[in-house]
Copies of this chain bind each other. A is one copy, B any other.
Amino acid sequence: MKALILGVDGYIGWPLALRLLNRGHEVAGADSFFTRRRVREVESDSAIPIGTMGRRLAALKENGLHMEFLRGDVSNAAFVYRLIEETKPDVVVHLAEQRSAPYSMLGLKQASDTMYRNVISTLNLSYALKDLSPGTHILKLGTMGEYGTPNIEIPEGFFDIEYKGRKDSLPFPKFAGSWYHWTKVHDSNNLMFANRLWKLPVTDVMQGVVYGTRTRDITDTSLFTRFDIDEVWGTALNRFCAQAVAGLPITPYGKGGQTRGFLSLEDSITCLTLAAENPPEEGEYRVFNQFDQHYSVNQLATYVKEEYERTHEGKAEIVHVENPRVEKEEHFYQPVSEKLRHLGYHPSGDLRVDLRSIMNDLEKFREKILSLKKVITPRTFWKSSSGLSEKPSGR
């Protein structure tokens, strides 16, 4: 299989490239280094140091692997057309979108940028494949956050309903919680339509929150993937682990009853690989809900505290902070995730074991984590997203 990974320099993109290469696939990757630049803009950095792409490619070589890399931005149609023409892939894994909810909520500029960048990149990809390689499988990263928190079970993309005595199978209604999350809804809608128009085969992945420092392919520090913990680019569980290791309070937002689907980095890579190696039927648009278990933020904070204290002398403290987001802090949550299991996905580990292994990795970067302390506290408040030519809220 020939895979093209858009966003290959990212948290998911890099370990996915490692996995596909190790499984003997041919891999080309593209990136614009958008995330690296934007993370620097908020005076943050990956808590685990990562090399430049040049060093990463050299590290691959040392491991007997080779990946073709092309630098460019997928919101540029000409670049996407060139990519497809040059690589003619069997599958394009599209991970090259602006991926931070808080970034999209900083202000109008960032909201517009996220709308434009994400929606246009997926449109460019759809047209480029329609024109140059219509049989290529589009494996697109969406988010479980597209669904929001409805008071009914969340199916995988579509549901059969009866309404006023008549029946239909319809897309499940979405209700996202940030401009970023809405761009993923817009993308899903546009991809569903591209499939209707041109029969492009699509897997739309509704992924839960990913945690972890490792996959089985990250055997060496030169192969580490980025690890973000700041309030803009970091995610909850990874941040909690870093906070515990650095002796900082673990900070759930608000009441902490918010419940989401989670999965380990290892499992995310396994699922994406399964999806890539088992493409949709001809002309099929399919939706996978990709997560292992669902947890409340409070449960996760407690697990991190307990696992930290089990393996260390000191105590870890949990401190609830004001929730910068607009979201329900107590709600029903019951999403379904069956299709990936039917393809053979078995969750790889035990959350508590994973947490210990993450904290073990992070011990080596304690100083680095402490240096990021000032960018951990939430300052991007949804309700006060900045307008035109104001400074981003709280800055």
A170 CB → nearest B CB, Å: 4
| Binding stretch for chain B, among A47-55, A183-191, A240-248 | A183-191
Q: How many copies does the complex hold?
A: 2
Contacts of A176 on B, CB cut-off 8 Å?
A: 189, 193
CB of A360 within 8 Å of the partner chain: no
A381 CB → nearest B CB, Å: 10
CB of A353 within 8 Å of the partner chain: no
Mask: chain A, 83-124; 1 = CB below 8 Å from B; 0 = not: 000000000000000000000000010011001100110011
The answer, among B127, B151, B170, B172, for a CB contact under 8 Å with A167, is B151
A93 CB → nearest B CB, Å: 21
A interface residue count range (under 10 / 10 to 19 / 20 to 34 / 35 or more): 35 or more
The answer, among B81, B153, B164, B186, for a CB contact under 8 Å with A152, is B164
The answer, among B81, B161, B190, B382, for a CB contact under 8 Å with A163, is B161
- Tell me the bound Cα distance from A182 to B111 in angstroms: 19
A157 CB → nearest B CB, Å: 11
Within 8 A of B (CB), among A38-94: 77-78, 81
Within 8 A of B (CB), among A221-238: none
Within 8 A of B (CB), among A179-207: 179, 182, 185-186, 189-190, 192-193, 196-198
Asked if B197 and A189 make an inter-chain contact with CB atoms under 8 angstroms apart, the answer reads: no
The answer, among B116, B123, B150, B326, for a CB contact under 8 Å with A196, is B326
Task: Write the chain B residue with the least CB distance to A181.
Answer: B193
Residues on A facing B (Cβ under 8 Å) = 77-78, 81, 108, 111-112, 115-116, 119-120, 123-124, 127-128, 130-131, 150-153, 159, 161, 163-164, 166-168, 170-176, 179, 182, 185-186, 189-190, 192-193, 196-198, 326, 332, 382-383, 385, 387-388, 390
